[in-house]
Amino acid sequence: MTVTWRHLPAPAREIAVAASAAVAAAGARNAGAYEPAVDRLAAADRAGLVLGGVVRLLLEETHPDGLDGDDVRQVLEGCVREVAPWHADVDPHVLLVLLASSLGVYDPGDDEAAPGPAAIARHAPLLVAHLLAVTGRPLESYLTAAFAEVARTELHD
């Protein structure tokens, strides 16, 4: 099933289309399709915010009793092991920042050494694809929920 995302404003639609392509390429372990997809994602403003929401939703679903340090380590190690054979540039530190940020225990805005938007765009789809494999559900439902959460937050700020 292909989702057009026509109901979203143009900037959000660009994030949704780019994220869908990048996560699909990551899930298929297709390095040739992954690179242009993450380049497009990196150019989309606020893509990291949306993908962080997707990661949080996936973590909540895959760990309904909460996460501890061992759970975070298992997710991180599992993702790196799965990705490294086809994407040698995977950086475990960036994945850890993504995990910690999505859980609200780390604010990369306060850290000069934090990975930038391009690094986030290159790694978030890897983590999302890894977590999606556990749920068996399509990315679209998580993206829709993440967009709704961003909209709610912006409305109340």
* Whole-structure pTM value: 0.92
Which among 112, 111, 157, 125 has a CA at the least distance from the CA of 48? 125
**Residue-range domain boundaries for the chain:** 10-156
Which among 132, 143, 135 has a CA at the least distance from the CA of 18? 143
Tokens 């709610």 found at: 152
Higher pLDDT, residue 1 or 145: 145
CA atoms within 13 A on the CB side of 147: 19
Q: Tens of pLDDT along 77-126?
A: 999 999 999 999 999 999 999 999 999 888 777 777 789 889 999 999 99
Whole-number pLDDT of residue 155: 78
